[in-house]
Amino acid sequence: MNDKKIYKALGRNVFVKEITPETKVGTFVIPDSLNADFTFGEVISVAEGYFDNGNFVPASVAIGDKIAFPRTAGVKITLNNQKLIRVFMEDIVAKEIDGEILEDNEKGV
């Protein structure tokens, strides 16, 4: 029997495992100033979405997505002896698509 509990993010929450970002994407070098302002992570658990003024807002990220959010956002937590960061969906400013980080309002191709 597995005694490890499974936790599912609810509401506006996203559970993220912090990762070290790549310093180079193709020929583009990511400046250190960007790494100083943002935390990069991999989505471990995400809620289906949340209600805002009566309207359902679906999640724009999925488990396994690599994301960026401001260093000031999120709360460090420990679940199942794993250090994670809990962030709100609306704090996520970008997600990686095919090896490149795009802003949430950009259209992926």
The confidence band for 6, taking pLDDT boundaries of 50, 70 and 90, is confident
On whether the CB atoms of residues 89 and 61 are closer than 8 A, the answer is yes
For the chain, how big is the Rg over CA atoms in Å? 15
Joined tokens for residue 34? 């960007």
Q: Over 60: is that where the pLDDT of 87 sits? A: yes
Domain ranges of the chain: 13-96
pLDDT at 20: 81
Q: Which fold has domain 13-96?
A: 10 Kd Chaperonin, Protein Cpn10; Chain O (2.30.33)
